Chain A
Amino acid sequence: MSRIEAKKPSLCTNDPLTKERVSFSLSVLSGIVKSCYGPTGRLKQLHNGMGGYVRTTSQSSALLGGLSITHPALKVLTASVQNHISRFSDCGLFTAILCCSLVEHFQRINFAACTVTKISRHLLSLCTDYLKSEACGCRVSVDFDSIKTLLSLVRSILASKPACMLNKTEANHLSTLVLKAFLLTIPHTIETNVVLGKCVIIPVKGKRVMDSTVFPGLLIDIPEFQFARTFPVKRVSSSAIKMALFCISMSGDLSNIGEGTVIVHHGISLEVAVLDQLLNLGKQLVNDQVGLVVCQKVIHPSLKQYLKEHCVITIDRVGVSMMEPLSQMTGSQPIAALHSVSPTCYGSLKDLRTESFVSKHFLHLVPNDTLVCSLILCNRNEMAWDELKLACQTAEHVLQLTIKQPLALLGGGCTETHLASYIRHKSFTLPTSVLKAIDCSRTQYQLVADAFCRSLECVACCLEHDDGEILTDMVYGHFWSVQSGFPSDCNWSDLVLKCGCGIYNNQRNLNWTVLRSQYIPFAPQSCSNEPSINSTDHLVLDCFTAKCSGLQVAVETANLILDLSYIVEDQN
Chain B
Amino acid sequence: MASQRLRTQRRAVSMASAASLDLGRLVQEAEALASVLVTRPTGETLLTRDGRRVLEALNLGPPTARMIVACVSSHHNMTGDGAKTFIILLSKLLRGLQAILDKREGSPFCEAIQRSKRDQKHCHSLKQISQSLMTFQTHILDHIMAQDLRKHFLSAFSSWEGEISRDTMESILEAYFCGRIGNSHQKLLSQLSCDFYYRCIPFKNGKNEMLDLVNEYFVELHSAVTGLPVSNSRILEGLVLHRDFAVYCPADGDIRMLILTESIDSALAPPGLEFVVNAEVQYQASQVWITKRTEAMMKHLQNNNIKVLLSSVKQQEIVIYYAKISGISIVECLSSEEISLLCRTTGISPFIPTQDNIRSEISETMIAKFCRPLVLGSKRYVHLGLTRTCAFEPHCVIFCGPVHGITEQHASAFHGAFKMLQQLFKAVDLSDGCEAQPENTNNTSKTVNDQQLKTSMAETEKQFIDSSSWVDENPSSLIDRGSSVREICNDAMTAIENTSTSVVSKQLDAAQEYWKPGNPIVPFKFEKSYKHTVQSYTNLVIQAGSVLPVGGNFEILLHYYLHSYAKQCQQPKITVISTVIADALLSIPKILYRTTKENSFTQVCFKATSALQTNQQLPMHQQGLESVYCKYQLVASVLHCLTKLLTIDLIIGIKRPPQKTEVNDSEEDL
Interface positions of A (Cβ within 8 A of B) = 1, 4-10, 12, 14, 16, 72-73, 75-76, 79-80, 82-88, 113-114, 117-118, 121, 193, 247-248, 256-265, 268-270, 272-273, 276-277, 333-340, 342, 344-345, 549, 552-553, 556-557, 559-560, 563-572
Chain B residues near A338: list those with CB within 8 A: 287
Task: Name the contact of A268 in the complex, choosing from B278, B404, B470 (C-beta under 8 A).
Answer: B278
One digit per residue, 1 when the CB lies within 8 angstroms of any chain A CB and 0 when it does not, for chain B 257-278 equals 0000000011111111111111
**Does chain A have a CB within 8 A of B3?**
no
**Does chain A have a CB within 8 A of B217?**
no
Contacting pair B377 A270 (CB below 8 A): no
Stretch at the interface among B223-231, B496-504, B526-534: B223-231
Contacting pair A565 B34 (CB below 8 A): yes
**Does chain A have a CB within 8 A of B116?**
no
Chain A residues near B226: list those with CB within 8 A: 80, 83
Given contacts A88-B227, A568-B54, 8 further A-B contacts (CB under 8 A): A76-B45, A269-B280, A272-B280, A333-B324, A559-B184, A563-B34, A569-B38, A572-B41
Contacting pair A265 B58 (CB below 8 A): no
Contacting pair A270 B470 (CB below 8 A): no
Chain A residues near B182: list those with CB within 8 A: 117, 559-560, 563
Task: Name the contact of A567 in the complex, choosing from B37, B228, B656 (C-beta under 8 A).
Answer: B37
Known: A79-B404, A270-B283. A263 touches B274 (CB 8 A): yes
Can you list 24 pairs linking A and B with CB atoms under 8 Å apart? A4-B469, A4-B470, A5-B470, A9-B59, A76-B405, A84-B402, A86-B378, A87-B227, A113-B34, A258-B268, A258-B273, A260-B268, A260-B274, A263-B275, A270-B277, A276-B284, A277-B284, A336-B316, A336-B321, A345-B325, A556-B401, A564-B36, A568-B38, A568-B57
Contacting pair B267 A257 (CB below 8 A): yes
Known: A10-B58, A83-B402, A559-B184. A339 touches B288 (CB 8 A): yes
A258 to B271, CA, bound (A): 7
A563 to B270, CA, bound (A): 60
- Specify which of B182, B268, B280, B325 lies most central, judged by the most chain A CB atoms within 10 Å of its CB: B280
Task: Name the contact of B470 in the complex, choosing from A7, A272, A549, A559 (C-beta under 8 A).
Answer: A7
**Does chain A have a CB within 8 A of B461?**
no
Smallest CB-CB separation from B272: which chain A residue? A260
Q: Quote the shortest CB–CB distance from A419 to chain B (angstroms).
A: 16
Chain A residues near B61: list those with CB within 8 A: 9
Known: A559-B182, A565-B30. A268 touches B325 (CB 8 A): no
Known: A262-B269, A265-B276. A568 touches B320 (CB 8 A): no
Closest 7 CB pairs of A and B: A258-B267, A260-B269, A83-B227, A565-B34, A80-B402, A336-B321, A552-B229
Stretch at the interface among B427-435, B471-479, B558-566: B471-479
Q: Quote the shortest CB–CB distance from B287 to chain A (angstroms).
A: 7
**Does chain A have a CB within 8 A of B35?**
yes
A7 to B474, CA, bound (A): 10
Contacting pair B184 A268 (CB below 8 A): no
Q: Quote the shortest CB–CB distance from B376 to chain A (angstroms).
A: 10
Contacting pair A12 B269 (CB below 8 A): no
Task: Name the contact of A265 in the complex, choosing from B278, B287, B402, B405 (C-beta under 8 A).
Answer: B278
Smallest CB-CB separation from B406: which chain A residue? A560
Chain A residues near B275: list those with CB within 8 A: 258, 260-263
One digit per residue, 1 when the CB lies within 8 angstroms of any chain A CB and 0 when it does not, for chain B 216-246 equals 0000000000111111000000000000000
Contacting pair B316 A6 (CB below 8 A): no
**Does chain A have a CB within 8 A of B509?**
no
Known: A83-B227, A339-B288, A570-B59. A73 touches B37 (CB 8 A): yes
Chain B residues near A272: list those with CB within 8 A: 280
Dominant SS among interface residues on chain B: mixed
Contacting pair A84 B269 (CB below 8 A): no
- Specify which of A88, A118, A552, A563 lies most central, judged by the most chain B CB atoms within 10 Å of its CB: A563
Contacting pair A268 B273 (CB below 8 A): no
Smallest CB-CB separation from B36: which chain A residue? A566
Chain A residues near B663: list those with CB within 8 A: none
**Does chain A have a CB within 8 A of B521?**
no
Smallest CB-CB separation from B475: which chain A residue? A6
A87 to B272, CA, bound (A): 49
Task: Name the contact of B183 in the complex, choosing from A76, A118, A277 (C-beta under 8 A).
Answer: A118
One digit per residue, 1 when the CB lies within 8 angstroms of any chain A CB and 0 when it does not, for chain B 388-418 equals 0000000000000111111000000000000
Chain B residues near A87: list those with CB within 8 A: 227-228, 377-378
Contacting pair B47 A560 (CB below 8 A): yes
A86 to B225, CA, bound (A): 11
Chain A residues near B250: list those with CB within 8 A: 193
**Does chain A have a CB within 8 A of B29?**
yes
Task: Name the contact of A80 in the complex, choosing from B41, B57, B227 (C-beta under 8 A).
Answer: B227
Task: Name the contact of A6 in the complex, choosing from B318, B403, B474 (C-beta under 8 A).
Answer: B474
A342 to B325, CA, bound (A): 9
One digit per residue, 1 when the CB lies within 8 angstroms of any chain A CB and 0 when it does not, for chain B 280-291 equals 110110011011
Contacting pair A572 B59 (CB below 8 A): yes
**Does chain A have a CB within 8 A of B60?**
yes
Q: Quote the shortest CB–CB distance from A50 to chain B (angstroms).
A: 22
**Does chain A have a CB within 8 A of B164?**
no
Chain B residues near A553: list those with CB within 8 A: 227-229, 402
A343 to B74, CA, bound (A): 62
A82 to B283, CA, bound (A): 54
One digit per residue, 1 when the CB lies within 8 angstroms of any chain A CB and 0 when it does not, for chain B 42-54 equals 0001010000001
**Does chain A have a CB within 8 A of B105?**
no
Q: Quote the shortest CB–CB distance from A465 to chain B (angstroms).
A: 28
Q: Quote the shortest CB–CB distance from A133 to chain B (angstroms).
A: 16
Known: A79-B45, A117-B182, A336-B321. A72 touches B37 (CB 8 A): yes
Chain B residues near A16: list those with CB within 8 A: 37
A152 to B268, CA, bound (A): 61
Give residues of chain B (12-40) contacting chain A, Cβ–Cβ below 8 Å.
26, 29-30, 32-40
Task: Name the contact of B277 in the complex, choosing from A76, A265, A564 (C-beta under 8 A).
Answer: A265
Task: Name the contact of B228 in the complex, choosing from A1, A7, A334, A549 (C-beta under 8 A).
Answer: A549
Known: A549-B229, A560-B47, A568-B54. A4 touches B267 (CB 8 A): no
A334 to B283, CA, bound (A): 25
- Specify which of B26, B316, B318, B402 lies most central, judged by the most chain A CB atoms within 10 Å of its CB: B402
Contacting pair A268 B279 (CB below 8 A): yes
Contacting pair B474 A72 (CB below 8 A): no
Contacting pair B227 A84 (CB below 8 A): yes
Contacting pair A261 B274 (CB below 8 A): yes
A261 to B274, CA, bound (A): 5
A15 to B271, CA, bound (A): 61
Task: Name the contact of A262 in the complex, choosing from B38, B58, B268 (C-beta under 8 A).
Answer: B268
Q: Quote the shortest CB–CB distance from A103 to chain B (angstroms).
A: 14
Chain B residues near A79: list those with CB within 8 A: 45, 402-405
Known: A270-B280, A570-B57. A72 touches B320 (CB 8 A): no
Smallest CB-CB separation from B60: which chain A residue? A9
Q: Quote the shortest CB–CB distance from A304 to chain B (angstroms).
A: 21
A568 to B57, CA, bound (A): 7
Smallest CB-CB separation from B288: which chain A residue? A339
Chain B residues near A84: list those with CB within 8 A: 227, 402
Chain A residues near B161: list those with CB within 8 A: none
Smallest CB-CB separation from A569: which chain B residue? B39
Contacting pair B269 A257 (CB below 8 A): yes
Task: Name the contact of B403 in the complex, choosing from A9, A76, A263 (C-beta under 8 A).
Answer: A76
Contacting pair B318 A76 (CB below 8 A): no
**Does chain A have a CB within 8 A of B657?**
yes
A404 to B318, CA, bound (A): 37
Known: A83-B403, A114-B33, A257-B268. A334 touches B321 (CB 8 A): yes
A564 to B34, CA, bound (A): 6
Contacting pair B38 A556 (CB below 8 A): no
**Does chain A have a CB within 8 A of B317?**
yes
Contacting pair A570 B403 (CB below 8 A): no
Contacting pair B283 A567 (CB below 8 A): no
Give residues of chain B (643-670) contacting chain A, Cβ–Cβ below 8 Å.
656-657
Contacting pair B316 A568 (CB below 8 A): no
Contacting pair B39 A570 (CB below 8 A): yes
A247 to B247, CA, bound (A): 13
